């Protein structure tokens, strides 16, 4: 049975300790959620003071929560935690850093980062392992990275964010040396969080590593079929707040309709693979990962992303970790597994069973997806094909140094 989270109420449906994936034929039923039941679980807090209160009392009673007014509980927790991350509070001092971070995480919390080659850490369990794993490695390579969240959608116990970071690349990243000029780079980043009570239990995180490598001059993939627009990760073209959505503006009916469209789009695009993208607007904008580029229309998205994906992988299954919708914004973290039976991103068929780890976000208006964002853990997929993209980058770096 596949583990499936409701994007509306954050509950787990069909929970199993290790999801096994689903076939295209079985996916439609598993991707469905009980919309009516989920809507019934939505609760909205009344944060206004009584009208009979004197003005001073009303002013004192009104105070925005972290994450903004009416923010779901999970958004409040993650926003508070992220404030310390973004301030780089004692980032390299374990006693001080752990004292600040410990209140936000369960003792057995898991931090699940992208594939990182010779850094060689798997998903880490507990704060100490995270500190010595992704945290210190990333912050040594890209110190004082300044992140801007442009999407943060949540339920009471799940949160997702889409962000970009700005940093100078000064140290080795997964064994790949920093370019000699230590350039400023844009980091495409996303996170999905699952809470257990009032603490974060699981954090899925992906950065677009291939995009980082290419900004450093390490072209590990062939030129993308579509141009990469403005570093490939612009915020939404809507005044819904930064990050969006502002929870006080969200109507439950928008969450319901967005979740319906989003789950149907995931099924159609990744499992039915019929190449129609019928849930996307004709003039949609889709910020795809490095190696694929930015689609400025539904036709671009179909011809340069969906069709090559369908032609490259057969016997496809899906493992869904997290689906979150709030208002007009949705996110999903999942693994697409497929047999590599056709060329993809310059690599001929290997026959390998390949995990394609995806983090996707969308803005949905009037029943259509008008903007989308996708990060794929491409180095993880390529290592399953027998290709080490970090090794490829190190060869390029060595040649540049020799020249």
pLDDT for position 1: 29
pLDDT tops 70 at residue 169: yes
Residue 230 banded pLDDT, cuts 50, 70, 90: low
Q: What is the SS3 string spanning 212-238?
A: HHHHCCCCCCCCCCCCCCHHHCCCCCC
Flag the least confident range among 38-52, 98-112, 133-147, 233-247.
38-52
Flag the least confident range among 82-91, 220-229, 238-247.
82-91
Strand partners, 364: 369
Q: Is residue 50 part of a domain?
A: no
Summarised one tens digit per residue, pLDDT across range 81-114 is: 998 888 887 889 999 999 999 999 999 999 999 9
Q: Is residue 29 part of a domain?
A: yes
Summarised one tens digit per residue, pLDDT across range 342-360 is: 999 999 999 999 999 999 9
Q: What is the CA radius of gyration of the chain?
A: 21
Q: Is residue 65 part of a domain?
A: no
pLDDT tops 70 at residue 34: no
Rounded to an integer, what distance in angstroms lies between the CA atom of residue 52 and that of residue 31? 48
Q: Is residue 63 part of a domain?
A: no
Question: Pick from 319, 320, 316: which is nearest to 342 by CA?
Answer: 316
Q: Is residue 389 part of a domain?
A: yes
Summarised one tens digit per residue, pLDDT across range 252-278 is: 999 999 999 999 999 999 999 999 999
Domain with 162 in it: 4-40+70-402
CB of 242 within 8 A of CB of 150?
Answer: yes
H helices, E strands: number in the chain? 13, 14
Domain total in the chain: 1
Looking up tokens 């994906």 gives 309
User: In the numeric block, which tokens belong to residue 86?
Assistant: 């973004």
Q: Is residue 53 part of a domain?
A: no
- Which has more pLDDT, 83 or 300? 300
Q: Is residue 287 part of a domain?
A: yes
Q: CA 99, 104, 105: angle at the middle one, nearest 5?
A: 95
CATH number at residue 286: 3.10.450.50
Q: Is residue 48 part of a domain?
A: no
Flag the least confident range among 24-38, 48-62, 137-151, 287-301.
24-38
């Amino acid at each position: 049975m596949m583990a499936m989270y409701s994007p509306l109420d954050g509950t787990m449906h069909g929970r199993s300790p290790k999801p096994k994936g689903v076939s295209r034929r079985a996916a439609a039923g598993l991707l469905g959620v009980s919309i009516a039941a989920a809507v019934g679980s939505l609760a909205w807090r009344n944060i206004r003071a009584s009208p009979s209160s004197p003005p001073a009392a009303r002013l004192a009673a009104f105070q925005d929560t972290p994450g903004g007014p009416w923010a779901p509980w999970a958004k409040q927790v993650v926003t508070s935690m992220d404030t310390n991350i973004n301030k780089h509070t004692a980032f390299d001092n374990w006693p001080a850093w752990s004292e600040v971070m410990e209140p936000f995480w369960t003792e057995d919390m898991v931090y699940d980062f992208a594939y990182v080659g010779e850094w060689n850490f798997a998903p880490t369990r507990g704060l100490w392992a995270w500190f010595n794993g992704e945290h210190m490695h990333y912050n040594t390579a890209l110190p004082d990275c300044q992140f801007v969240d442009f999407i943060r959608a949540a339920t009471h116990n799940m949160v997702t964010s889409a962000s970009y970071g700005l940093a100078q690349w000064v140290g080795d990243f997964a064994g790949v040396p920093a370019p000699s000029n230590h350039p400023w780079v844009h980091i495409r980043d996303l996170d999905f969080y699952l809470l257990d009570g009032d603490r974060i239990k699981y954090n899925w995180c992906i950065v677009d590593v291939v995009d980082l490598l290419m900004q450093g001059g390490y072209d590990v993939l062939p030129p993308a079929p579509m141009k990469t627009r403005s570093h490939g990760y612009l915020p939404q073209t809507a005044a819904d707040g930064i990050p969006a959505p502002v929870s006080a503006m969200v109507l439950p009916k928008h969450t319901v309709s967005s979740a319906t469209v989003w789950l149907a789009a995931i099924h159609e695009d990744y499992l039915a693979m019929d190449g129609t993208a019928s849930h996307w607007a004709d003039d949609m904008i889709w910020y795809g990962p490095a190696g694929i580029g930015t689609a400025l229309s539904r036709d671009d998205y179909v011809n340069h992303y969906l069709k090559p994906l369908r032609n490259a992988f057969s016997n496809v299954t899906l493992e869904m970790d997290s689906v979150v919708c709030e208002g007009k914004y949705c996110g999903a973290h999942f693994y697409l597994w497929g047999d590599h039976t056709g060329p993809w991103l310059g690599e001929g068929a290997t026959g390998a069973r390949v995990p394609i780890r995806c983090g996707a976000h969308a803005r949905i208006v009037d029943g259509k997806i008008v903007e989308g964002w996708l990060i794929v853990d491409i180095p993880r997929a390529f290592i399953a094909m027998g290709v080490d993209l970090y090794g490829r980058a190190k060869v390029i770096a060595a040649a540049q140094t020799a020249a």
